C-alpha cells in the first residue's frame, strides 16, 4: 500500500512511520504542507492519504480566525478533493474531540456518544468540524473518507498539555486529589488504530481512545513514583478549585471530565496499558 502523509515531520506522522517500519506492505512518503500548494501535490499511484497538517493549538485571538479556517478547513477539504480526483482510495483526516466543546466542569460528567451533536466552543473547534463534515461529503464508491475524532494524544517526545501537566505535577510539593475521567490515547495505540483502519479499508467516523479512562491524579502519581518523589495528595484545596472552575476554565481542563462512551465505533487498541504508557512517555 502506498501511503502519503500530509504533514511532514509531524509528531503523529513520524511516530506512525516508526511504528510500521518493520512491517511489509507499507510504502510511505511524506509531504511538507508548509511549502507546497494543493495544486502541486501529486497523489497519482497513492492508495491512502493520512492528513495530519493543521494548526493544533487553541487561540482566542480574533486575528487568528481566518488562518484557522484557511488551514484547518479549506486546505484540508481541498487536499481531500485533490486526492479523490487523483484516484486515492482512502483519506484519513485527523479531526478532534474539541468539536464537542469544552470539558465538563469539575464534578460534572460529559460522556460523548455517536449521537452527541458537536458544539464547538471556539473557531479552532469549528474549523476542525467544518473540515470533518466537508470531507465526509466527498465519499463515493471509490473514495472512502475516515474521520478520526481524536482525544489528547501523548507519548515520548510529545508537546502540548501533557508534558506541561507532568512538569507541574513534579514541581508541586502537594497535588489536589480530585478524581476525574478523560479519554486520552497513547501514541502507539493511535498508530495501531491507523494500521487497523488501513488494513481493513474502513470508512466513517472513529473515536479512538485508550481502553482505560485517565485521571489527572493517576498521571501525577505514576510520574512522581517514576522520579522517586513522594506522592502527596490533598483534598484541602478541592472546594476552592471547584469554585474557581466556574470562572477559570483552566481548572476544568486539568480536573474536568470528558470521555467517549465505549461504543462499537470506538477503536480500543490497547497495545500499551495506561501505567506503561505514562512511564514510556516520561522516561
Name the grid cell of 122.
Answer: 471556539
Tens digits of per-residue pLDDT, 157-198?
999 899 999 999 999 999 999 999 999 999 999 999 999 999
Could you tell me if 127 and 69 are in contact, meaning their C-beta atoms sit under 8 angstroms apart? yes
**Domains of the chain with bracketed CATH:** 2-158+184-212+260-272 (3.40.50.720)
Phi then psi for residue 238, to 5 deg, are: -60, -45
Q: How high is the mean pLDDT of the chain?
A: 94
pTM: 0.94
pLDDT at 202 > cutoff 90: yes
Average pLDDT on 227-247 reads 95
pLDDT surpasses 70 at 146:
yes
Residue 59 confidence (pLDDT) above 70: no
Residue percentage of the chain with pLDDT more than 70: 99
3 state DSSP class of 189: helix
Three cell numbers, residue 166: 507532568
Amino acid at each position: 500500500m502506498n501511503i502519503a502523509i500530509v504533514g511532514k515531520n509531524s509528531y503523529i506522522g513520524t511516530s506512525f512511520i516508526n511504528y510500521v517500519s518493520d512491517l511489509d506492505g507499507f510504502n510511505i512518503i511524506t509531504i511538507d504542507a508548509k511549502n507546497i500548494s494543493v495544486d502541486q501535490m501529486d497523489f497519482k499511484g497513492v492508495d491512502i492519504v493520512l492528513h495530519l497538517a493543521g494548526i493544533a493549538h487553541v487561540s482566542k485571538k480574533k486575528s487568528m480566525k481566518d488562518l484557522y479556517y484557511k488551514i484547518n478547513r479549506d486546505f484540508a477539504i481541498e487536499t481531500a478533493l485533490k486526492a479523490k480526483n487523483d484516484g486515492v482510495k482512502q483519506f484519513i483526516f485527523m479531526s478532534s474531540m474539541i468539536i464537542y466543546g469544552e470539558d465538563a466542569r469539575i464534578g460534572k460528567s460529559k460522556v460523548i456518544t455517536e449521537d452527541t451533536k458537536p458544539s464547538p466552543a471556539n473557531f479552532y473547534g469549528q474549523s476542525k468540524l467544518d473540515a470533518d463534515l466537508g470531507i465526509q461529503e466527498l465519499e463515493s464508491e471509490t473514495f472512502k473518507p475516515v474521520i478520526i475524532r481524536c482525544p489528547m494524544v501523548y507519548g515520548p517526545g510529545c508537546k502540548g498539555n501533557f508534558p506541561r501537566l507532568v512538569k507541574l505535577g513534579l514541581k508541586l510539593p502537594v497535588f489536589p486529589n480530585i478524581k476525574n475521567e478523560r479519554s486520552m490515547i497513547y501514541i502507539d495505540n493511535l498508530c495501531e488504530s491507523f494500521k487497523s483502519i488501513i488494513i481493513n479499508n474502513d470508512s466513517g467516523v472513529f473515536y479512538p481512545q485508550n481502553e482505560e479512562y485517565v485521571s489527572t491524579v493517576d498521571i501525577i502519581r505514576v510520574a512522581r513514583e517514576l522520579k522517586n518523589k513522594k506522592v502527596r495528595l490533598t483534598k484541602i484545596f478541592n472546594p476552592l478549585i471547584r469554585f474557581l472552575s466556574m470562572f477559570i476554565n483552566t481548572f476544568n481542563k486539568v480536573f474536568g471530565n470528558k470521555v467517549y462512551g465505549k461504543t462499537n465505533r470506538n477503536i480500543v487498541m490497547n497495545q500499551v496499558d495506561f501505567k506503561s504508557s505514562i512511564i514510556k512517555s516520561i522516561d
